[in-house]
């Protein structure tokens, strides 16, 4: 194992053991490197790596601190990796992950969506349908799904799905540009989801969410076969 990797694991162990808590300041570099028996250069590289991962926050002239370790911070690196994947298969793989996770999240969210939340979801559907526009539809679609998933109360799940949805937004936009019925169908499927949520039928919500996401996935597979690529225009 590389010395820098060892330093990363050591700091990680200090956080997992509770020795370092969110918001805590790390000991000075010299003190920490001597205590752990690692060179200062290895410790410095480890801190840089953990800063990129948003585990540590280096404040120049002040010190190095453990971040809040909130999911939206820790999953930023994954969001970057997802965005950086530009090969043809990655888009379909991302939709497959969404198809597995998002319906389950919607089912979990169902009992937590009250009348106010349901009314807001219906209002967003009406607003998107009042002036059908592909970009407006994509913005509505992202917000609609995010509002439902957040109600599940799992920050890691909602942040993960948000990063996946950001990457797949281009596919939804391209679908809207090439499929003349996409706007009407999307809004109709969203309305059906809200109806199931209002009926407090989590099983139906999950089934409808699977069908909704699979519809775009199926379109992508068909378009891939016809066009030879799953990568929408950028």
State whether residue 215 is helix, strand or coil. helix
What is the distance in angstroms between the CA of the first residue and the CA of the last residue of the chain? 40
In this structure, is the dihedral angle defined by the CA atoms of residues 98, 199, 112 and 147, taken in order, positive or negative? positive
What the block records as the tokens of 9 is 């694991």
| Residue 103, phi-psi category: left (phi > 0), alpha (psi -120 to 50), beta (remainder) | alpha
Residue 73 contacts by C-beta under 8 Å, 6 or more apart in sequence?
Answer: 54, 67
> CA-CA distance, 231 to 234, in Å (whole number)?
8
Residue 206 has what pLDDT? Answer: 97
What pLDDT digit, counting tens, does each position of 115-144 carry? 999 999 999 999 988 877 788 888 899 999
Is the distance from CB of 84 to CB of 43 less than 8 angstroms?
no
Return the number of other C-beta atoms located less than 10 Å from residue 26's C-beta.
20
> CA-CA distance, 95 to 102, in Å (whole number)?
10
User: pLDDT tens digits, the chain, 234 residues: what are they?
Assistant: 577 888 888 888 899 899 999 999 999 988 988 888 888 888 889 999 999 888 999 998 899 999 998 877 777 766 666 666 655 677 788 888 999 999 999 999 999 999 999 999 999 999 988 877 788 888 899 999 999 999 999 988 988 888 887 767 767 777 777 777 888 889 999 999 999 999 999 999 999 999 999 988 888 888 766 555 545 544
> CA-CA distance, 106 to 94, in Å (whole number)?
18
- For domain 3-68, the CATH class is mainly alpha
Asked if the domains at 3-68 and 74-227 fall in one CATH topology, the answer is: no
Quick one: fold of 74-227? 1.20.120
The domains of the chain are located at 3-68, 74-227
């Amino acid at each position: 194992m590389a010395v820098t990797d060892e330093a990363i694991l050591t700091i990680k162990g200090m956080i997992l053991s509770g020795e370092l808590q969110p918001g805590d300041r790390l000991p000075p570099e010299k003190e920490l490197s001597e205590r752990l028996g690692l060179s200062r250069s290895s410790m410095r590289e480890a801190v840089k790596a953990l800063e990129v991962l948003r585990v540590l926050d280096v404040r120049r002239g002040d010190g190095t601190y453990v971040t809040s370790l909130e999911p939206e911070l820790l999953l930023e690196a994954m969001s970057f990796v997802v965005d950086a994947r530009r090969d043809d298969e990655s888009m379909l793989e991302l939709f497959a992950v969404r198809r597995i996770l998002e319906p389950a999240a919607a089912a979990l969210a169902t009992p937590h969506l009250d009348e106010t939340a349901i009314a807001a979801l219906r209002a967003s559907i009406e607003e998107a349908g009042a002036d059908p526009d592909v970009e407006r539809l994509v913005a509505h679609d992202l917000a609609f799904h995010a509002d439902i998933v957040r109600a599940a109360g799992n920050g890691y799940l909602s942040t993960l799905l948000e990063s996946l949805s950001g990457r797949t937004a281009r596919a939804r936009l391209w679908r809207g540009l090439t499929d003349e019925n996409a706007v009407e169908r999307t809004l109709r499927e969203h309305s059906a989801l809200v109806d199931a949520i209002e009926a407090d039928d989590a099983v139906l919500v999950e089934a409808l969410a699977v069908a909704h996401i699979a519809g775009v996935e199926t379109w992508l597979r068909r378009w891939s076969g016809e066009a030879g690529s799953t990568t929408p225009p950028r």
